[in-house]
Structure 1
Amino acid sequence: MCGIVGLHLRDPQLYPRLGELLTGMLCEMSDRGSDSAGVAVYGDPRWSPPGKGTVSVLDVDDSPDQMAEALHAALGEVSVHRVDETLLVSADVAAETLHAAITAHYPHALIAGFGANVAVLKGVGHPKALTEAWGLAHAQGWQGVGHTRMATESAVIPAGAHPYAVGPDQCLVHNGSFANHATIRRDLRARSVVFDSENDTEVGARFVADQLARGRDVETALKELCATFDGFYTLLVSNHDSFAVVRDAIACKPAVIAETDEWVAMGSEYRALAGLPGVEKAVIWEPEPEVVYAWTR
């Protein structure tokens, strides 16, 4: 079943409340998926320090100090901040350079996300317990995306949890299933795309990342996804300055969008949005099939 939430803030006065608001939204979706959860937070200065590349890493046994020391020779000063199971690694280099150095030193690590603005946290367990362990309510920033998972087609492990953040400052979450993901995965692997899991959502994320790497914008990439993928899905895709939603041609997976002058929000159900400030004044609608709704900072 799974639950999706997303919040794109237009009013800078709300930036300090991003984590608080996102926590409430995500926890409202707990009964749509209680085996694992994840979030992508854009703009928190503790988790993704301004002017530095940041990589979110799982499945590393080293302590933060050990990891910083291991990477020092290649990168100079490195900051490693632990948030529950995730290590947030930052350095004064491009995120892609940092990503490459980490995978060279830790080839079995799971890269949960990377970029100049984003921190990705995900794990196995009930969403309420995970948000408390992350201290998500104290996060700040301009944009957040979250997902609660009810696993149907791949293992309940961190690599199977959403978000899938496989391109720089990019993130995708998904409710539904892709029927032809095996064929598309094979085609992407033929172009040397590497996968971390057997999750069908990762195929969608890698497809979108591939489209963006070719210079297409998010709206065009999602239209191409709709033309290529079969199945039932609601998707939310974000990057460093945008936030987009699309549903399949039948639109059987639920989604609600609300918009005010201060924010744009999306949830699998309205109750995820009901606690947002000023929601009583929002324009609220259900997205139409295969229409891409996108907003930019």
Structure 2
Amino acid sequence: MCGIVGLFLKKDDKDNRLGAMLAEMLAVMSDRGPDSAGFAVYGAGDTARHKLTLRGPEGADWTALARGLEEKDLGPVDVVVRDTHAVLTVPAASVAAIRAALPALAPDVAVVGEGERMELYKEVGLPAEISARFGLADMRGTHGIGHTRMATESAVTTNGAHPFTTGLDQCLVHNGSLSNHNLLRRKLKREGIAIETENDSEVAAAYLTWRMREGDNLGEALEHALIDLDGFFTFVVGTESGFGVVRDPIACKPAVMAETEDYVAFASEYRALVGLPDIEKAHIFEPEPARVYFWERQ
């Protein structure tokens, strides 16, 4: 059992409220997932520069790491530190070289996510504590997704926490379980998609990355997921331009959505939506089984 949330703001003048709204939704989902939590926020971006979200040990010297990258002529590197994570904003053309240089410069540092707009954070602990540690309430953006985990099939670790990402500005949170993830894992690895954990949810993220690499848009990739992924699942997926929702054909996992003139929100349970502004005026509905929903900003 896990809790998942998503929030998509339709208007630019509301973006300063995204983090606070998402943080409240995550906190309400604590009893569906008290072990660990994570979220991705899509804020301002620059096509010439990418954001690398990194996770490191306590006391990591992020300034020294940025300086080391710049000394290799891979900069300029801007750093924003948030607890155990840091967001490095770097030239897009240098990302591959930076990833190659990281193991030698900082062997204890892991890349959590990459994209023009996406920042991704996750850790072990109660959802409200995770949100506070990373300063989610103060983050701005157009959309974000989040997850609270109750580990039932694997250890409670940061690597096992959601969201999972295997592509640029693309990440996924999942409530459910996949039965054919090992078969898909082998196939995707043959296709050159990197999968780092044993979590079935990362396989789902990798599958979407592969479909989109093959030319699908997100909606088409989710349609294919309904055919190729066995098990029960609700996915909320973030991309650079928006977010999507899909449930398996049986739809045994709880899900509810709310839409107003200002936002679209998703949660595993309605109580995570009650604190949203103008919720009493929202169109409240349960997403239909095996139907893809997607919202994006042009």
Deviation at 1:213, TM superposition (A): 1.2
In the alignment, structure 1 residue 181 sits paired with structure 2 residue 181:
yes
User: For 1:51-70, what aligned pairs fall within 5 Å after superposition?
Assistant: 52-59=49-56, 62-70=60-68
Question: 1:1-297, aligned counterparts within 5 Å?
Answer: 1-43=1-43, 52-59=49-56, 62-72=60-70, 73-94=72-93, 96-97=95-96, 100-101=99-100, 103=102, 105=104, 106=106, 109-297=109-297
Moved more, 77-86 or 177-186: 77-86
Give 3-state SS (helix, strand or coil) of 1:55's partner: strand
Matched-pair contact (CA < 8 Å) for 1:95–1:168 = no
- Measure, in 1, the Cα distance between the counterparts of 2:65 and 2:288: 47
Change (3 A) 1:96 1:218: farther
**RMSD of the alignment, in Å?**
1.8
Instruction: State the AA in 1 paired with 2:89.
Output: S
Preserved contact between residue 3 and residue 147 of structure 1 (Cα < 8 Å) = yes
CA contact (8 A) 2:38 2:123 kept: yes
3-state SS in 2 of match to 1:29: helix
The letter of the residue matching 1:142 is T
TM-score normalised by the chain length of structure 1 = 0.94
TM-score, normalization by structure 2: 0.93
Please state how far the C-alpha of 1:16 moved relative to its aligned partner.
0.6
Distance 1:243 1:84, change over 3 A: same
Instruction: Output the CA distance in 2 between the equivalents of 1:258 and 1:26.
Output: 16
Q: 3-state SS of the aligned residue for 2:264?
A: strand
Q: Deviations over 1:209-249 (max 9, x none)?
A: 11111111001101111101111110001101121100011
Change (3 A) 1:214 1:99: farther
Contact 1:55 1:98 in 2 (8 A): no
In the alignment, the residues of structure 1 paired with residue 110 and residue 155 of structure 2 have an alpha-carbon distance, to the nearest angstrom, of 15
- Tell me the alpha carbon deviations over residues 165-222 of structure 1, each in whole angstroms, 9 at most, x when there is no partner: 2210111000000011111111112223222111000000000011111111001101
Q: What is the one-letter code of the residue matched to 1:232?
A: F
Residue aligned with 2:251, SS: coil
Q: Aligned residue pairs: how many? A: 294
Say whether the 8 Å CA contact 2:34–2:126 is kept in structure 1.
yes
Range 279-288 or range 93-102, more displaced: 93-102
Q: Deviations over 1:244-293 (max 9, x none)?
A: 10001100001111111111110000111111111111111111111001
In the alignment, the residues of structure 2 paired with residue 292 and residue 107 of structure 1 have an alpha-carbon distance, to the nearest angstrom, of 40
Partners of 1:244 and 1:295 within 8 A in 2: yes
CA–CA separation in structure 2 for the residues paired with 1:109 and 1:84: 13
Aligned-partner Cα distance in 2 for 1:95–1:157: 30
Structure 1 portions without partners, runs of 5+: none
The SS at the match of 1:34 is coil
How far apart are residue 103 of structure 1 and its match? Answer: 4.5
Distance 1:174 1:55 in 2: 23
Greater CA deviation, 258-267 or 105-114? 105-114
Letter in 2 for 1:144: G
Gaps of 5+ in 2: none
Question: Higher mean Cα deviation, 56-65 or 161-170?
Answer: 56-65
- TM-aligned CA distance change 1:216 to 1:135, over 3 Å: same
Deviation at 1:51, TM superposition (A): 5.1
Question: Deviation digits for residues 91-149 of structure 1, max 9, x if unmatched?
Answer: 13358446634555446642211101010010011111111111111111111111000
